Amino acid sequence: MLSYIENTAIFGILISLGAYHLGGIINKRFQHPLFNPFLISLIFIIGFLKASGLSYDIYSKQAAILTILLGPATVALAIPLYRNIAILKSNLRAILIGVSAGVVASIVSVVGLGYLLGTDIEILYSMAPKAVTTPIAMEVSRVIGGIPSLTAGLVAITGVFGACFAPEILRFFNIKSSVAKGVAIGTTTHALGTTRAFQLGEVEGAMSSLCIGIAGILTAFIVPLIMGLL
């Protein structure tokens, strides 16, 4: 059975899509942030790999096309941004300042805490870009000497956390501005958080979509500078 799975080139794609579909069904059934389709599919796939003995490397190669498609999927988020271009123009300065502050805070907090706890430098390199979208995060991690696969896992965890708890955190801090909500979610929790931002409203989703790209570009420049200080 394992040999058949390993030699079936599209099996990784099928198990990924099937797991996400299952996650969507469970999410609709329970209607709770913790039952996030991505989180459910992640747990299901990990369980399957453990039970079947299929190595992550083989699964990753089989499902590689899905990782490639993350790029076009992220670009497609620009559509609602175009619809709200007037709001973007009127808040551009605040958005740029907010994203810049968020990127620096995200990198410094995780790297600083890891450094104080004596975390291995390779792990720190892998943790630094965890708040941006997967294709950018993995490439930044690879360039600075991190472990791209570990970075991808940390990106997923960050996104799931944001999708589950971002609205509650914003409510706790009494953040009412739709633009501010979108900036906060997009800067720190990338595409997964953005899916939740769209549930809050189109403006939140559009601003979050914009901030994914800006945060990714800033992270690509800032991470090497900060990590060079260690």
Average pLDDT score over residue span 46-58? 85
Q: Compute how many other C-beta atoms are within 10 angstroms of the C-beta atom of residue 221.
A: 10
Q: Which domain holds residue 56?
A: 2-68
The residues, any chain, with a CB within 8 Å of residue 34's CB and separated by 6 or more, are: 164
Judge whether residue 96 has pLDDT over 70.
yes
Please tell me the pTM assigned to this model: 0.77
- Is 59 found in the same domain as 141? no
- Is 184 found in the same domain as 121? yes
- Is 132 found in the same domain as 18? no
Question: Last residue of some domain: 46, 68, 90?
Answer: 68
DSSP reduced 3-state for 49: helix
Radius of gyration, alpha carbons of the chain: 18
Judge whether residue 46 has pLDDT over 80.
yes
- What's the total number of domains in the chain? 2
How many angstroms separate the first and last alpha carbons of the chain?
48
Q: Give tens-digit pLDDT for 133-188.
A: 888 898 899 999 999 989 988 998 898 888 888 888 999 999 999 999 999 999 99
- Is 115 found in the same domain as 86? yes
- Is 189 found in the same domain as 138? yes
Q: What pLDDT is recorded for position 191?
A: 81
> What's the mean pLDDT when you consider all of the chain?
86
- Is 119 found in the same domain as 50? no
Average pLDDT score over residue span 44-60? 86
- Is 36 found in the same domain as 58? yes
